[in-house]
Amino acid sequence: MKDDFPGWHGTTIIGVRKGGEVVIAGDGQVSLGQTVIKGTARKVRRLSPGGYDVVAGFAGSTADAFALLERLETKLEATPGQLQRACVDLAKDWRTDKYLQKLEAMLIVTDGAELYVITGAGDVLEPEHDVTGIGSGGNYALAAARAMMDTEKPAEEIARAAMAIAADICVYTNGNLTVEKISKT
């Protein structure tokens, strides 16, 4: 029965670090099969556990992503100012906890200095070229952003242009963006 379900699709999230700031941008489209269910979803959020600002974008199941964001906030409260440690702790839990193992989502997180992708496979990845993308249109946005990294464009302009290119190519991505910018602290 589950194999007959068309499945949720639709997310493109990009993270761009340049010029002392990091921008995470996400589209607003959620699709069920070939039908657009919602065009204004907010998949990029600002977290402030204990006054420590972090921006996170998610791809995958919304409920699963919210569960992971709550766990990340708890980890950040336990290790204030240590984003890498909180991400590694979350990835370990995600990989080993029987409940969390079933969660289907990916996260891009930043505190303005560090930028990571967290996966359910236990990965905490730092991009080599200061740009990363996840979701159905993530590779399109990633390629577009990498092509612009050597230009004079600031991080936000690169993220917006890359998302526009992804929206033109990926049917599961729209141009309704949520953009959050954070500077090094």
The string of pLDDT tens digits covering residues 21-40 is 999 999 999 888 888 999 99
- Per-residue pLDDT reduced to its tens digit, 157-167: 999 999 999 99
Domains of the chain: 2-177 (3.60.20.10)
Name the band, by pLDDT with cuts 50, 70 and 90, for residue 185: low
The mean-pLDDT minimum among 45-54, 69-78, 136-145 falls in 45-54
3-state secondary structure of 84: helix
Residue 1 predicted with pLDDT over 70 = no
d(CA 57, CA 139): 15
**Of the ranges 44-48, 92-96, 102-106, 142-146, the best mean pLDDT one:** 142-146
The backbone torsions φ and ψ at residue 166, rounded to the nearest 5 degrees and listed phi first, read -60, -40
Residue 62 CA to residue 71 CA, distance in Å, equals 14
Nearest one of 40, 2, 45, 29 to 136, comparing CA atoms: 29
pLDDT tens string 55-84: 999 988 788 888 889 989 999 999 988 999
Cβ atoms of 54 and 99 closer than 8 Å: no
Structure tokens at 83: 């984003």
Give, as one character, the DSSP assignment of residue 93.
H
Q: Please give the positions annotated as active site.
A: 11
Q: Coil, strand, or helix at residue 90?
A: helix
Instruction: Check: pTM over 0.85? Answer yes or no.
Output: yes
Q: Which residue carries 């600031």 as its tokens?
A: 154
**Degrees, nearest 5: CA angle 84-114-11:** 95
3-state helix, strand, coil in the chain (%, to 5): 35, 30, 35
Q: How would you classify the pairing of strands 131-135 and 124-125?
A: unpaired
